[in-house]
Chain A
Amino acid sequence: MSREGNALEYLGEERWRLPPRGAMRVPVELFASRELVEALDAKVLEQACNVATLPGIVKASHIMPDAHWGYGFPIGGVAAFDPEEGGVVSAGGVGFDISCGVRTLLTGLRRDQVEAQRERLADSLAANIPAGLGSTGLIRLDDRQMRAMLAGGARWAVKQGYGREEDLSRVEEEGCMAGADPDEVSERALDRQRREMGTLGSGNHYLEVQEVAELFDAETAHHWGLRQEEVVVSIHCGSRGLGHQIGTEFLRRMVVEAPRHGIQLPDRELACAPIESSLGKAYLGAMRAGINCALANRQILTQLTREVFHRLFPDLELPLLYDVSHNTCKEEWHRVGGERKRLFVHRKGATRAFGPGHPELPEALRATGQPVLIGGSMGTASYILCGTSASEKLAFSSACHGAGRAMSRRAASRRWRGGEVVAELGARGILVRSPSLRGVAEEAPGAYKDVSAVVESAHRAGLAKRVAKLVPLICIKG
């Protein structure tokens, strides 16, 4: 274990603290079991310490149980900044895939109903959901439509006929991120998006047909319409080329302009700008447009998914359970030291987890708290958790986002062969459809941490509580 690791104090209930030292303005707070802490890459703590040095950071630099080494910010990091205290916004703290996230649809079908049609369903999804490099969406947007999409998000998509009005109450921000400024999105970013609306992407992005294998909280599950042995569909993807280009351009601008703002960067990747600076505001406007792009993209993919299911199972509604993003910076109100503050909360590989009664939740979810959708790696379980009231105090209402990588892509592709991974998963009853076998090897289940251990830690720490476990039946990989 690293020098930093040795200095970690255990606070009880899966909470750890690293007191501030050197240029750190606040402590690092880590949520994980002893086993996960021992397996943690020393680089994660180093990165969280670097985040703790940034101007205007409030309370602590947080690490979620699934944390792994990122660039600048750790993946699985949460940090809030106060604009009144010179707080910053960081392009690296959001990441390249702005508003990458997960949405889950309920089918109401029993597992055996899907089993009977599984091959056909897998082939039809693979044929109709554009996935992988070089795939193109069916939708082409001209400049005017693109701007409307960037301002309107999933709300725009529903107006264009992708999905239904009632879907919107089941998307964070009710489907439309306020404060988006399409004028801050460059021509190059628009160019990269022209052929990518309604595409899944590649890497760890997927569409899975999953069975509800286990319920931990029957009452909440019932409230949300989750029933054991029934089938759901989860879609994991983000803002595609547009978000990547926004991230690329603002990261560079923030690196170059940091000295002008008097910001000392321990790592260039931490590049940031004061929230109140013109660059900070420009980034927020562009990043929010990126969020809308991701919300619109997942909304279009929802429609494509529904169309595939309708061919095999006419009259299915496939209502949306929820849509959550895990690469964002959001302006939120939080209570800190007895005072209500307006903060800019960065969640890089972390999910928002509002508890019961939160005013930003739609009526239908206010009694329970929000669904927190945790994507597993291909072939392992995914989980649905529920936001708690305690999470607000612990980590600005945040929880983990997935399993987190345990092994690099390079190591994974040397260790496994894609064909063998597909065959092994097939033997376990999981159909994988992917344009790339090397891509499958790089995403092999063994390259990830144990998602169940990550979720257990989040549950025990009180970040979010477990509601249901999902296991895959079909996996469409990009």
Chain B
Amino acid sequence: MAEAEPRWEHFSHQADIGVRGFGATPAQAFETAAMALTAVITDPRLVVPRQVVEVECEAPDLELLLVDWLNALIYEMSIRRLLFGRFRVTLQGKRLQGRAYGEPVDPKRHRPAVEVKGATFTELKVERRDGLWMAQCVVDV
């Protein structure tokens, strides 16, 4: 059960909060990092995947690509008033194609704690640790 669950966590930053995702591949770590992003706002299990949004990003390296991916999600959440609870990412070199599944924010049900302003370059890392990929950065709330 534990292995099948997407694994993500938050880490502390004095003013803001860090998001960290793990996966067997960089793409999977990007997906779980996105789950951690949603969890800053609400419990991802409360988000029903009723609709899908596709995003594409391109960056000179994997770390910048992580920031771009999270910022693309922040942008889509903001303009569409959506929350996302499930993600699919494919990486081809420096290009990312992602799908985010979610639904419109329902303040009564989701009780959003905070809105995320942007993903930052602070504590930004995409690396392999003990055979597992980790993708993390601090997000500004």
A residues bordering B, Cβ < 8 Å? 41, 43, 68-72, 75, 95-97, 132-136, 188, 191-192, 194-195, 201-203, 241, 244-245, 247-248, 251-252, 255-256, 267-269, 271, 405, 407-411, 413, 435-439, 442, 478
Contact = CB atoms under 8 A, between A and B. Distances in A.
A408 B17 CA distance: 7
A410 B117 contact: no
Interface string B69-82: 00100110011010
B81 A439 contact: no
26 contacts: A41-B14, A68-B15, A70-B15, A75-B15, A95-B140, A96-B140, A132-B115, A134-B110, A188-B75, A191-B79, A192-B79, A202-B114, A202-B141, A244-B118, A247-B118, A248-B71, A248-B118, A267-B121, A268-B121, A407-B14, A409-B17, A410-B17, A413-B113, A439-B112, A439-B113, A442-B113
Contact of B68 (A71, A192, A252): A252
A237 to B, nearest CB: 12
Contacts of B126: none
A69 B113 contact: no
B122 A72 contact: yes
A411 B17 CA distance: 10
A269 B12 contact: no
A75 B14 CA distance: 10
Given A251-B121, A255-B121, A69 B114 contact: no
B120 A71 contact: yes
Contact of B121 (A71, A203, A409): A71
Interface residues of B, number: 38
B41 to A, nearest CB: 6
A69 B15 contact: yes
A410 B121 CA distance: 19
Contacts of A247: 117-118
B56 interface: no
Contacts of B117: 96-97, 244, 247-248
Interface of B: 10-17, 41, 60, 64, 67-68, 71, 74-75, 78-79, 81, 105-107, 110-115, 117-122, 124, 138, 140-141
Contacts of A248: 71, 74, 117-119
- Across the A-B interface, the 10 shortest Cβ-Cβ residue pairs: A134-B105, A438-B113, A133-B112, A69-B14, A71-B122, A244-B117, A408-B12, A268-B121, A133-B115, A248-B118
Contacts of A70: 15
Contacts of B113: 202, 413, 436, 438-439, 442
A167 B19 CA distance: 42
A405 B105 contact: no
Nearest to A195: B81
Given A75-B15, A192-B79, A269-B120, A435 B111 contact: yes
A202 B106 CA distance: 16
A251 B140 CA distance: 13
Contacts of A75: 15
Contact of A203 (B81, B114, B124, B138): B114
